[in-house]
Structure 1
Amino acid sequence: MTAPHGINHGRRRLLIGGAAAATAATAGSAGLLLPGLARAADYPDRPITFICPWPVGGTADQSMRALCQVASGVLKQSIVVENRAGASGMIGTKALARAKPDGYTIGQVPISVTRFSQLGMLQLDPRSELTYLARTSGQTFGIAVPANSRFKSLKDVVAEAKAHPGKLTYAHAGIGGATHVGMEEFAQAAGVRFNAIAYKGGAQALQDVLAGQVDLLADSSSWAPHVEAGKLRLLATWGDQRTPRFKDTPTLKELGYNVVVEAPNGIGAPIGLDPAVEKKLRDAFRQAVASKEFQQVAARIDAPVMYLDGPEYKRYISTVYDQETHLIQRLKLKELLQQG
């Protein structure tokens, strides 16, 4: 067909483009959203997978399941928790980072990503290659021994470790993780050396200490019910202040060791999430953290609530990343990893 007189082909294309834009705007105002916007508006229209990088039953797992239960009610869609444990939480974190950024795969982001990314165990930069939704709660770490142990106090442990360097064993939840690094920080501050025994998670570490196969347990509060039942003795906790449930147990800081470990948990998603989907998830988990249901679980597992919204959590990650750079050098963590 020949173009009408006075309108060239370029002009015609311009008019057609303008008409298409006007049609799209009209459709949008009528509620007929463009495909990407429609997906965000309908989100979530199917179950969401939540990757927990720790074994079933641990304190982090309990915390995340409680949050997901409340958030699923807010989002009006089920959230299925999938445990992918191993490599001190990094197997699950890798799976999360590689997932499609559509909002249907989210998960816990251990604060140790700031350490493992620098140690070469996680091939991503956590400052820029993950989406952060919320920082949720911290953990109460401590050193515990069997009730029949000859160690009645941390002073006894330090004396034994000084007399026999490298002989005393302690169980922890994975090389380079918070329980391992925290214990090595304490050892350095005390001027002693332990024999570290690594596990894939705190549950098996706890069992071996209860069975008397390992001298000491360094873990988050998996020890708590066993301390209350009289099966374990809690020698020290690692927070800035004493934990309310075990107020008679001193902190490392009180005992003269400048070591504080809280390792707050957080929730994230792959990079590239639609901003509208991200906002829905941030809102849902903000409500979940503030809920009575989660607060009760947090109190039961001695997890102090430490909420931050996604953007603030991302800034916190960058701060911790810089701190970890110095910690890695001070504790010679690369050398420790090479030694296994």
Structure 2
Amino acid sequence: MQDSTFKPGRRQLLLGAAGTLAGTLAGMLPAASALAADSDYPSRPITFICPWPAGGTADVTMRVLMQLAGRELGQSIVVDNRAGASGMIGTKALANARPDGYTIGQIPLSVTRFSQLGVVQMDPLKDLTYLARASGQTFGMVVRSDARFKTLADLVAYARANPGKVNYATAGVAGQTHVGMEEFALNAGIKLNHIPYKGGAPALSDLLGGQVDLLADSSSWAPYVEQGKLRLLATWGAQRLPRFGSTPTLKELGYHVVMDAPNGIGAPRGLDPKIALKLREALRRAILSTEFKAACEKIDAIVMYQDADEYRKFVADNYEHEKKLIERLNLKQMLG
């Protein structure tokens, strides 16, 4: 935005009242132009950077959300998938984009961990503009239906008697599910053997094939649980899932682990506050719509709306939590 403040110099002061009036009117023109630009936003399509592969659970819900937000703004929002490095490639691309309101994106909460581990070179508290928190994923621990573990208590008892013999799969080192499992193991006083994969799909495939004992992942396992091929031992949210109401949460079972990976929407730092406000209002209406709620329910996700200030505070609090968790779990050593 241009500077609209009129600063008369010595020459203008000598020109008299007529000159002063002319200069003042001239000085007002940039402000009028800037206001016109704000009122025209958005005047062209907006790009939304999704840091996950197309077709995944996060991608599906974000596409629905962007359709709804685009409808509110009167412009299309084009999804650009920038997957890789546990979501950090897309997050870094968002931070490096022009702060003109035409590039926004999903911010994985794990950026508060990966930035401190050096996986991504950025400061999530300084390099991003937070617009709104949207929804959270559902995580759970599953075994095959023919496994010896009928309950989580069975798993813990076996792991205590056989340290390091239970293999569990996740979508990668230092991701949400890996950290959640290690935090659970620490609380339970057991040692498990982590088998990292490059994504949730191959990890699920190997569980079904018998190559690993247990899988910690988002709700990719849900249809297999309903088909009777997998058994859900526990979920990780603050409350039980309506779809799997008979399965307890880790918190219920006495393990102080609550993890739902809340994701939100942001932009690069330096975004004009007036443009940010338009985006925030459009996102608020889209997130709280019945259409978005229905999209989330299809993958057992939870609507977790927060506006910009509350969302940024949530991220800052999580940053401090991750700092302590990195030390407790020795995550830097795990990354090598």
TM-score (norm 2): 0.90
* Aligned position for 1:138: 136
Report whether the alignment pairs 1:22 with 2:29: no
Is the contact made by 1:134 and 1:313 (CA closer than 8 Å) also made in structure 2? yes
* Aligned position for 1:190: 188
More displaced 10-residue stretch of structure 1: 116-125 or 307-316: 116-125
2:101 to 91, 100, 103: 103
Report whether the alignment pairs 1:75 with 2:78: no
- RMSD of aligned residue pairs (Cα, Å): 2.1
Q: Which amino acid aligns with 1:102?
A: D
Report whether the alignment pairs 1:296 with 2:299: no
* Aligned position for 1:11: 13
* Aligned position for 1:126: 124
1:329 to 321, 327, 330: 327
CA distance in 2, matches of 1:89, 1:199: 15
Q: Which amino acid aligns with 2:13?
A: R
* Aligned position for 1:40: 38
Is the contact made by 2:12 and 2:20 (CA closer than 8 Å) also made in structure 1? no
Q: Which amino acid aligns with 2:194?
A: A
CA distance in 2, matches of 1:14, 1:201: 73
Report whether the alignment pairs 1:240 with 2:218: no
TM-fit CA distance, 1:207: 2.6
Is the contact made by 2:131 and 2:266 (CA closer than 8 Å) also made in structure 1? yes
TM-score (norm 1): 0.89
CA distance in 2, matches of 1:41, 1:54: 32
Is the contact made by 1:87 and 1:174 (CA closer than 8 Å) also made in structure 2? no
TM-fit CA distance, 1:310: 0.9
Q: For residues 196-224 of structure 1, what are the alpha-carbon distances to aligned partners after superposition, in whole Å with 9 as ceiling and x for unaligned?
A: 22234323322332233322111121211
Could you say what secondary structure the match of 2:262 adopts? Answer: coil
More displaced 10-residue stretch of structure 1: 43-52 or 289-298: 43-52
1:223 to 213, 218, 221: 221
CA distance in 2, matches of 1:199, 1:165: 22
CA distance in 2, matches of 1:272, 1:171: 40
CA distance in 2, matches of 1:228, 1:57: 21
TM-fit CA distance, 1:12: 4.5
Question: Which consecutive unaligned segments of at least 5 residues does structure 1 have?
Answer: 1-7
* Aligned position for 2:60: 62
* Distance change (3 Å), C-alpha of 1:200 and 1:71: farther
More displaced 10-residue stretch of structure 1: 59-68 or 158-167: 158-167
Question: Which consecutive unaligned segments of at least 5 residues does structure 2 have?
Answer: 1-9
TM-fit CA distance, 1:39: 3.1
Q: For residues 127-151 of structure 1, what are the alpha-carbon distances to aligned partners after superposition, in whole Å with 9 as ceiling and x for unaligned?
A: 1221001011122211012223332
TM-fit CA distance, 1:244: 1.2
Q: For residues 93-149 of structure 1, what are the alpha-carbon distances to aligned partners after superposition, in whole Å with 9 as ceiling and x for unaligned?
A: 111111111111111101111111111112222112210010111222110122233
Is the contact made by 2:238 and 2:258 (CA closer than 8 Å) also made in structure 1? yes
* Aligned position for 2:82: 84
CA distance in 1, matches of 2:280, 2:194: 38
CA distance in 1, matches of 2:263, 2:291: 17
TM-fit CA distance, 1:256: 2.2
Is the contact made by 1:282 and 1:310 (CA closer than 8 Å) also made in structure 2? yes
CA distance in 1, matches of 2:153, 2:57: 28
Report whether the alignment pairs 1:161 with 2:159: yes
Is the contact made by 1:103 and 1:277 (CA closer than 8 Å) also made in structure 2? yes
* Aligned position for 2:4: none
CA distance in 2, matches of 1:173, 1:13: 72
* Distance change (3 Å), C-alpha of 1:225 and 1:312: same
* Aligned position for 1:4: none
Report whether the alignment pairs 1:269 with 2:274: no
* Distance change (3 Å), C-alpha of 1:44 and 1:211: farther
TM-fit CA distance, 1:27: 8.2
1:306 to 289, 304, 307: 304
